[in-house]
Amino acid sequence: EPPKGQKGGPAGAHRPRAPAGQKDNRPPDRFQLTFPLRTNYMYAKVKKSLPEMYAFSICMWIKSSASPGMGTPFSYAVPGQANELVLIEWGNNPMEILINDKVAKLPFAINDGKWHHICVTWTTRDGVWEAYQDGTQTGNGENLAPYHPIKPQGVLVLGQEQVR
């Protein structure tokens, strides 16, 4: 389970407990997604389009005991580029982040059937990236699609790779 007071699914957002004396007005569990099977039809598509981005952070609670690989928890495709921004774990390979088809291996250990909080940050300046698992930095690098802004008006899908 996620830490007490927090909930999330494979692509769910964390929900810290409201501070003492304050009412928690957020709708319960509205951001929890569960994909019990690996299929080509179980996914969530985000309706709002994203702007051009020069940096980002992707964070999620994730739980998996999938072997080999859990699939694609996060996929952002734009016209002409299905791999504009993708988190993927396939076969017996480590999770990877793809930006404009450029790849960095992420040093996560998450296929143990337990909840883990993962984050990946990236900036177009020098293509610098950092990976965090359960609050600890587990890796970093540079030269990952340097000076390539993430293109706007794409399609964001949670739980499924996009092929265009």
Question: What does residue 125 show for φ and ψ, rounded to 5 degrees?
Answer: -65, 110
| Distance in angstroms (rounded) separating the CA atoms of residues 151 and 51 | 7
Determine the pLDDT at residue 51.
Answer: 87
Q: What percent of the chain has pLDDT over 90?
A: 32
- pLDDT 10s digits, 65-85: 766 666 777 888 888 888 888
Determine the pLDDT at residue 46.
Answer: 66
Domains of the chain: 44-158 (2.60.120.200)
- pLDDT 10s digits, 112-156: 888 889 999 999 999 999 999 999 999 999 999 999 999 998 888
